[in-house]
Amino acid sequence: MANNIHLRRALVFGRFQPFHYGHLMVINWALSIFDEVVVLIGMADESHTLQNPFTAGERIWMIREALRSEGVDLTRIITATIPTMSIYVGNALYVIKLVPPVEAIITRNPVTAQVFRDAGLKVLVPPPYNRDVYRGSYIRELMIKGDERWRRLVPRVVAEIIDAIDGVSRLRNIARYD
């Protein structure tokens, strides 16, 4: 597969603040269909805010370690980052040129789906998962409140990374001054 120039590849685009089991489910589903998945980390230039508390580097670390701990073949994963930008077809075309060739984007977001469809990509909607629980804003809210249930919503290694960078304290400090 590594020498095959005709790999089937899909794009999974998100902020991953933090990487959680919903993200893992989507990537595993994508890998069941495609040879490779490009994980594009959005808002890479933003960190230390309520919506984006973790840096791009921390998010790459979380994603790679979570996938590795789950036995995902990392040779099938390409990670890339992109700064904050508005969602419209011109930027979708920019994103498509920023990453290796992809034939589809995997998203549940209807606006993202439409602009990438308009840019010529096939759009696939992953199977549903419990978005009420596996949602970054909910996980961050639990962290701010000191509710340890957030740990059950992310792979163990992600919780370990968040602990290593003192991410919960960072988020609480941000919330205190926001």
CATH number at residue 132: 3.40.50.620
Do the beta carbons of residue 12 and residue 59 sit within 8 Å?
no
| Residue 137 domain-assigned (yes or no) | yes
Look at residue 121 and tell me whether its pLDDT is greater than 80. Answer: yes
pLDDT digits (tens, 9 = 90+) for 55-113: 999 999 999 999 999 999 999 999 999 987 666 567 888 888 889 999 999 998 888 89
| Residue 13 domain-assigned (yes or no) | yes
Contacts of 32 (CB under 8 A, 6+ apart): none
Give me the DSSP letters along 104-131: EEE-S-HHHHHHHHHTT-EEEPPPP--T
| Residue 61 domain-assigned (yes or no) | yes
| Residue 40 domain-assigned (yes or no) | yes
Q: Residue 121 and residue 77: Cα distance in Å, rounded?
A: 19
In this prediction, residue 2 carries a pLDDT of 47
Look at residue 1 and tell me whether its pLDDT is greater than 60. Answer: no
| Residue 107 domain-assigned (yes or no) | yes
Q: Kindly report whether the global pTM for this prediction surpasses the value 0.85.
A: yes
On average, the pLDDT of the chain sits at: 92
| Residue 168 domain-assigned (yes or no) | yes
In this prediction, residue 89 carries a pLDDT of 67
- Residue 170 sits in which domain range? 9-177
| Residue 163 domain-assigned (yes or no) | yes
| Residue 4 domain-assigned (yes or no) | no
Counting the structural domains of the chain, the total is 1
